[in-house]
């Protein structure tokens, strides 16, 4: 058995804004809240998914999307699903895996005070910079705070990120981490997420898989990609941009 654990947004599909103008052969992959197509697979992405389907590869999404956002993905995923940055695992029948839920809630309990402190501390600066602050929950429990700028202003997001990093360091909140991309900055658990969910599925439900593949585009995907046998990443993503910019001596 081959299992592919894959990020979704900007790995298997993306919005039109991130595609070359006039690209042909696009396949709708998600719907917006208005019910209209929002993200699309390129011909190459569609070919990869078709290859997986035709060769019997089990495809498991590993995404930051919650259940409502996942419901707007129109691609035919039929196996397990990892949502909420790893905090939620859905069984093939669509029900929440209660064993993983129990482990998550136990881990989140110890982080509530630190998350609340970080959220309260950054709220004033975020508001002054025009960023929207959103508290995300999984299993009715706060697990992540997201700061998003409506115009994706890089300077504002950088100031928010640096302020959060300084606060985490000064308070010694080693159980929390910050992830950032072009659109937002988030603070969430460091050791309770996508990688742990993938390891859980591998150990509990796919212990005899002969090959596990990991697909992802961002630095926040690295941990779960390292939990698999081989990794695949698209060109132009945060991962390859970071590697390309690294000035390391070749040995």
Beta bridge partners of 28: 40
Of the candidates 116, 86, 79, 118, the one whose C-alpha atom is nearest the C-alpha of residue 103 is 86
Q: Three-class SS of residue 81?
A: strand
Kindly state the average pLDDT of the residues 183-197: 90
Q: What is the spatial distance between Cα 79 and Cα 94, in angstroms, rounded to a whole number? A: 9
- Confirm if 66 and 83 have CB atoms less than 8 A apart: yes
CA distances (Å), 222 to each of 7, 116, 173, 178, in order?
A: 11, 26, 21, 14
- Strands of the sheet containing 211-215, edge to edge, are 58-61, 2-6, 211-215, 230-232
Question: Is the pLDDT confidence value at 209 over 80?
Answer: yes
Q: What pLDDT score was predicted for residue 251?
A: 65
Helix (H) or strand (E) holding 84: none
Q: What pLDDT score was predicted for residue 191?
A: 86
Q: What pLDDT score was predicted for residue 182?
A: 76
Assign a CATH topology to domain 105-189.
3.30.1240
pLDDT category of residue 6 using cuts at 50, 70 and 90:
very high
Question: Is the pLDDT confidence value at 84 over 90?
Answer: yes
User: In this predicted model, what pLDDT tens digit does every residue of 122-153 receive, in sequence order?
Assistant: 999 999 999 999 999 999 999 999 999 988 88
Question: Is the pLDDT confidence value at 185 over 70?
Answer: yes
Q: What pLDDT score was predicted for residue 250?
A: 64
Kindly state the average pLDDT of the residues 88-104: 95
Tell me whether residue 176 is exposed, middle or buried, using C-beta atoms within 10 angstroms of its C-beta: 0 to 12, 13 to 18, 19 or more.
buried
- Percentage of the chain modeled with pLDDT above 90: 79
- Give the mean pLDDT of the chain: 92
Q: What is the spatial distance between Cα 216 and Cα 220, in angstroms, rounded to a whole number? A: 9
Q: Three-class SS of residue 239?
A: helix
Six token digits for residue 62: 């590993």
Q: What pLDDT score was predicted for residue 20?
A: 87
Q: Under CATH, domain 2-87+193-245 is a member of which superfamily?
A: HAD superfamily/HAD-like (3.40.50.1000)
Question: Is the pLDDT confidence value at 22 over 90?
Answer: no
Domains 2-87+193-245 and 105-189 share a fold: no
pTM, two decimals, is 0.88
Kindly state the average pLDDT of the residues 192-221: 95
pLDDT category of residue 75 using cuts at 50, 70 and 90:
very high
Domain definitions of the chain by residue range: 2-87+193-245, 105-189
Q: What pLDDT score was predicted for residue 60?
A: 98
């Amino acid at each position: 058995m081959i299992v592919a654990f894959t990020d979704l947004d900007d790995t298997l599909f993306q919005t039109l804004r991130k595609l070359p103008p006039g690209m042909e052969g696009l396949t709708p992959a998600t719907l917006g809240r208005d019910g209209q197509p929002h993200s699309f697979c390129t011909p190459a992405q569609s070919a990869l998914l078709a290859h997986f389907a035709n060769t019997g590869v089990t495809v498991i999404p590993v995404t930051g999307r919650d259940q409502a956002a996942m419901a707007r993905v129109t691609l035919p995923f039929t196996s397990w699903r990892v949502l909420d940055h790893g905090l939620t695992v859905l069984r093939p029948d669509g029900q929440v895996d209660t064993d993983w839920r129990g482990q998550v809630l136990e881990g989140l309990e110890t982080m509530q005070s630190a998350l609340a402190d970080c959220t309260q501390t950054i709220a004033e600066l975020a508001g002054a910079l025009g960023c929207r602050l959103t508290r995300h929950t999984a299993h009715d429990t706060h697990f992540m705070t997201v700061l998003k700028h409506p115009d994706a202003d890089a300077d504002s997001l950088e100031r928010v990120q640096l302020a959060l990093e300084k606060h985490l360091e000064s308070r010694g909140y080693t159980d929390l981490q910050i992830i950032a991309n072009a659109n937002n900055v988030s603070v969430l658990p460091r050791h309770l997420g996508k990688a742990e969910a993938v390891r859980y599925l591998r150990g509990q439900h796919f212990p005899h898989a002969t090959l596990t593949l990991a697909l992802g585009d961002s630095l926040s995907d690295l941990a779960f990609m390292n939990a698999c046998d081989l990794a695949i990443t698209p060109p132009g993503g945060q991962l390859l941009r970071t590697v390309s910019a690294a000035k390391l001596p070749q040995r």
